[in-house]
Amino acid sequence: PRNVVAQDYALTERYRGAFIEQWLENGPGDRAAREATYAQQAAREEVLFDVLSHLDEMHGGATRYLLDAGLTVEDIARIQARILTAGED
């Protein structure tokens, strides 16, 4: 379900926290500019909902988008199986 995917996407922030702190502290250019960039690009649930809505409106959904990009039904099934079983090891 979309809400599960969005929650999973938002977990990205938890796992990249140390990297982001280091980048904010020591990255190139002005720190305020880095903070603004980070605020704009942070992995938030609402961002993924917007992306999925865009795919629905512009392409008929994520599956249709991937098929139009050249993936096969079998490719998509393999990706889904891998995602759904990731972490079960």
Q: Which two tokens stand for residue 79?
A: 């990706």
Among 2, 6, 1, smallest CA distance to 48 is for 6
**12: closest CA among 56, 42, 37, 39?**
42
How far is Cα 8 from Cα 20, in angstroms, rounded to an integer? 18
pLDDT of residue 89: 56
**Residue 87: band (very low, low, confident or very high) from pLDDT cuts 50, 70, 90:** low
Q: Are the C-beta atoms of 42 and 36 separated by less than 8 Å?
A: no
pLDDT tens-digit profile of 6-44?
Answer: 999 999 888 898 999 999 999 999 999 999 999 988 899
